[in-house]
């Protein structure tokens, strides 16, 4: 009986080892399958996130393009309304746009520079935090941009005309003045809230320089003979 037990234990050892090996293999396969399933799930989730991000980006791009189109349409309709029913302030700019002669437009542009520069005296930099001053600054910035573009067009036309060489110096000076005016008005419009004291002083200094340049430009224009023997249809601002 003892021999039988001893032989049975000797025979059971390899069997148990084989069972353990099989169990270990099954366990390893199961663990591998679980890991593979987790990795696959993570990849699917990552792919879903990428697709969702792509869809959101496409929607955002379409919304941006739609907003740009709507804003451009609004500005175009607003410009058409202003052209049909210009306000007293805009009449000079629209008159300049309807005038075919670039020299006449130059004289009108000087008048508009004088008007806009004078209007800036009503906008105090220290009051930009108030709604009324901010709206006025925005309106003047829009007009200054229109004047800036009109003067650049006048400059291009007169540069292409050899007979206008004597006028180019004044046109260049006017272009510099309108550039500075547009930059100043743009900075006024960009202010958010009440500016600091240092900003107020810088803006006031720039405004003083603008008015000085305007006065010098108008004084030289009064002394200049732009068209010898021909009376100008436009009155130079006094």
The rounded distance, in Å, linking the Cα atoms of 181 and 187 is 10
In tens, the pLDDT along 8-33 reads: 454 555 666 666 677 777 778 888 88
Percent of the chain with pLDDT over 90: 8
Tell me if 188 sits within 8 A of 137, measured CB to CB: yes
Q: Which two tokens stand for residue 213?
A: 């340049």
pTM score, whole prediction: 0.54
Q: Which two tokens stand for residue 142?
A: 């829009």
The rounded distance, in Å, linking the Cα atoms of 106 and 42 is 69
Domain extents in the chain: 1-85, 91-223
Long-range contact list for 121-128, CB < 8 A, 24+ apart?
Answer: 121/207, 123/188, 125/188, 125/191, 125/195, 125/199, 125/200, 125/203, 125/204, 125/207, 126/194, 126/195, 126/200, 127/194, 128/188, 128/191, 128/193, 128/194, 128/195
State the CB neighbour count (10 A cutoff) for residue 43.
10
In tens, the pLDDT along 59-104 reads: 989 999 999 888 888 877 776 666 565 566 777 777 777 888 888 8
């Amino acid at each position: 009986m003892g021999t039988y037990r001893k032989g049975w234990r000797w025979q059971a050892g390899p069997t148990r080892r084989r069972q353990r090996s099989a169990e270990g293999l099954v366990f390893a396969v199961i663990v591998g399958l679980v890991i593979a399933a987790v990795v696959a799930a993570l990849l699917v989730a990552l792919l879903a996130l990428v697709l969702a991000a792509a869809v959101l980006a496409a929607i955002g791009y379409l919304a941006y393009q739609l907003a740009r189109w709507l804003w451009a349409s609004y500005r175009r309709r607003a410009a058409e309304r202003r052209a049909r029913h210009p306000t007293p302030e805009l009449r000079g700019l629209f008159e300049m746009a309807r005038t075919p002669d670039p020299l006449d437009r130059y004289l009108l542009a000087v008048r508009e520079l004088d008007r806009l520069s004078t209007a800036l005296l009503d906008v105090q930099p220290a009051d930009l935090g108030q709604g009324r001053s901010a709206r006025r600054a925005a309106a003047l910035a829009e007009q200054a941009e229109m004047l800036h573009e009109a003067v650049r067009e006048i400059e291009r036309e007169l540069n292409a005309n050899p007979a206008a060489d004597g006028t180019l110096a004044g046109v260049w000076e006017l272009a510099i003045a309108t550039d500075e005016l547009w930059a100043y008005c743009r900075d006024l419009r960009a202010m958010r809230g009440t500016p600091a004291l240092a900003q107020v002083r810088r803006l006031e200094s720039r405004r003083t320089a603008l008015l000085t340049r305007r006065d010098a430009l108008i004084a030289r224009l009064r002394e200049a003979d732009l068209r010898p023997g021909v009376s100008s249809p436009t009155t130079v601002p006094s």
